[in-house]
Amino acid sequence: MAEFDVNILGCGSALPTTRHLATSQIINLRDKLYMIDCGEGTQVQMRRMRIKFSRLNHIFISHLHGDHCFGLPGLLSTLGMLGRNGELVIHGPKEIEDYMRPILAIFCKGLPYEVRFNPVDTYSHALVMEDRSLCVYSIPLKHRIPCCGYLFVEKQKEAHIIREMTDFYQVPIRMLQEIKRGADFITPEGEVVPNARLTRPAIPPKRYAYCSDTAFNPNIIPYIEGVDLLYHEATFAECDAPRAKETFHSTARQAAEIAKQAHVKKLVIGHYSARYEELSILKKEADEIYPGTILGSEGMVISLT
């Protein structure tokens, strides 16, 4: 079972190429799937990567440029043909519902499941979604249209019981759940056994930040400080920095600068411009600022360990 994996389905930018697919990712958190963006080709790539359609319940859209959302109509139709019956929630800028409702009415009549839209304020850092496994927050980005990234924060797991100690103190089975949650144990004689003697701390929760598309924007640093993995767009090389500024995108060097200032543990870059047939220049420029930068690629699976 995947503990916390990021699956990269596509990491190209707006212009289609044979080298990269349009943007989409899937987070697999202990077999619960969360999709980020849904460009063209997303569902085909899910097939290639053997990702189960049935485990997907939430889709997070960063903004309404086609390379981030044109795959939605086909995916929703396919889910209907597969017999899905549980609710699917699409989170994103409020305009996402305006875009999708007419398509659903024409091409997806009679879906066997409900599609619910959750509008996201792209200008604020706020809780977007919460379930038993994680919390998802918006990250305001700087793009030509309303756009936000997403921060996925795993919830703290319960502590691990030290079986030898609970047996020694004859802790009743019915109390183990409370002890996992932090309770001390009081023996029949009135002795207080500290929780730290009965448990080991759980592995610290993981955090993943997704930031695409955006111009260089140091304002996001407080929101992504110290994350286990940052995905940051790197559409251009430094030689095309004027074009990056004009189109509100980032260079690989700028992405690395954000990662360095935020003290993130790992950086992966993507959203490559179609002008680069060879990505080594982006890797080199990022590595000069943040050594060990990962070049994102289709089919890549990154585990947050």
- Active-site residue set: 67
Quickly tell me which residue has 């993507």 as its tokens: 270
Instruction: Tell me the two tokens of residue 23.
Output: 């943007």
* Cis peptide preceding 31, ω within 30 of 0: no
Instruction: Tell me the two tokens of residue 287.
Output: 């590595």
**Cβ distance 205 to 155 under 8 Å?**
yes
Q: How does DSSP assign 201-240, residue by residue? A: PPPPPPEEEEE-S----GGGHHHHTT-SEEEEE--B-GGG
The C-alpha atoms of residue 113 and residue 90 are separated, in whole angstroms, by 13
Q: What's the CA angle centered on 240, arms 236 and 246, to 5 degrees?
A: 90
**Cβ distance 170 to 188 under 8 Å?**
no
Radius of gyration (C-alpha) of the chain in whole angstroms: 22
**Cβ distance 27 to 5 under 8 Å?**
yes
The C-alpha atoms of residue 66 and residue 209 are separated, in whole angstroms, by 22
User: CA–CA distance from 212 to each of 108, 111, 139, 164, 217 (Å)?
Assistant: 29, 31, 10, 48, 11
Question: Nearest CA to 129 among 251, 49, 276, 27?
Answer: 27
Contacts of 222 (CB under 8 A, 6+ apart): none
